[in-house]
Amino acid sequence: MGYSLSDFSDELCQLVQTSSDYVVRVEGRPRHASSGVIWSSDGYILTSNYTVEFEDGLMIGMPDGTRREATLVGRDPGTDLALLKIESSQEGEVFSVPDWAPQEEIRLGQIMITLARPGRTLRSAMGIISTLSGRWAVIPGVEIERFIQSDCVTRAGFSGSLVVSSNGQAMGILSAGLLERDHVILPSSTLHQAVARILQKEPPMLELSEAIDQIEASTPLQDSESVEEE
C-alpha cells in the first residue's frame, strides 16, 4: 500500500508533538502573552523584543504546564530579539533544544510549520516558504542574514514562535516587529549573532525607540541581488 494522505497527517502530528518541547509562553506584557523558543540546554530563551515590555516579573509558561520566573538578559532591538533566562528547578536539569537547520538549506516552496504557545496550549499553523532572498538591510548598520517569509497565516501571540521544516529541523523564529502588518522568519545565523551580541554585553546598535522609528521608515526588502543590479 502506498503512502497516503493519512500517513502525511500522522507524521505532521508527530512532528508538532516532538517540536512542542522547545516552545514556551512568554508573559512579558499586560494581558497579551507571546511565544518563545528554548535556545540552550541551560535555560536561555529567545523571543520577540517588542513583546517584552516588563523588565521585572517576567514569567515563562513551560511545555509541561508549569510557570517559571525569568530574567531579562538583554535586547537586540535591530533584529527584534530579546534573550531571557530561567533557572533550573533541580540540579542537573537539562532543557530540550531544537536542531537548527543551516540557513542555506532553506528552500523556496518548502513546507514549514509554525509553533506558538500564547496560551496554555500549543498552537500550530502550516504553510510554505513564499519569499527567500539574500541579506536584508533592515536599517542602516543592521542586516538580517536572509530575508525569509511564508504564506502562513498567524494570529496574535505568534511573535517569537518556532518555525520548523517537515523533517523537524528548526528554520528560524517568527518576528512580527520588523515589518508593518507582516512577519519575517529570522534564520539561525541571525539568531546566533544576536545572542552573541547580548551575551558579550555589546551595546545595542540602536536604542529601542530608534529601532522602531527606523524600521517603520525602512524599505521592506534590500537584498544582495537588488544591490548588485543597481
Predicted local confidence at residue 168, as pLDDT? 92
Residue-number span of the structural domain to which 176 is assigned: 1-230
Cα–Cα distances (Å) from 42 to 89, 191, 200, 209, in that order, read 11, 17, 17, 31
Distance CA 105, CA 53 (A): 34
SS3 21: helix
The predicted model scores a pTM of 0.84
Q: Are 177 and 53 in contact (CB under 8 A)?
A: no
Q: What is the pLDDT of residues 29-72, one digit of tens each?
A: 988 899 999 999 999 999 999 999 988 899 999 999 999 999 99
Contact 162, 171 (CB under 8 A): no
**Per the structure block, which three cell numbers stand in for 106?**
532553506
135 closest CA partner among 224, 220, 219, 205: 224
Counted residue by residue, the chain has a size of 230
> How many domains would you assign to the chain?
1
pLDDT value at residue 154: 80
Question: Residue 140: what pLDDT?
Answer: 65
- pLDDT at 1 (0 to 100): 57
pLDDT digits (tens, 9 = 90+) for 59-105: 999 999 999 999 999 999 889 999 999 987 777 789 999 999 988 88
- Give CA separation, 214 vs 9, 136, 141, 176, 211, in Å: 42, 14, 11, 15, 5
CATH assignment of the domain containing 160 = 2.40.10.120
- Asked if residue 192 has pLDDT above 50, the reply is yes
Distance, C-alpha 219 to centroid of its chain: 22
pLDDT for 34 equals 94
Q: How confident is the model at residue 223 (pLDDT cuts 50, 70, 90)?
A: very low
pLDDT in tens, 129-156: 999 988 887 776 677 888 899 998 888 8
Q: In terms of pLDDT, which residue wins out, 155 or 181?
A: 155
**Burial, 7: exposed, middle or buried (Cβ in 10 Å; 0-12, 13-18, 19+)?**
exposed
Average pLDDT, the chain: 84
pLDDT at residue number 155: 81
Residue 216 has pLDDT above 60, yes or no: no
pLDDT confidence of residue 112 = 95
Burial 137-165 (b: 16+ CB within 10 A, else e): bbbeebbbbbbbbbebebeebbbbbbbbb
Which grid coordinates belong to 28? 512579558
209 has a pLDDT exceeding 50: no
DSSP state of 109: T
pLDDT of residue 170: 96
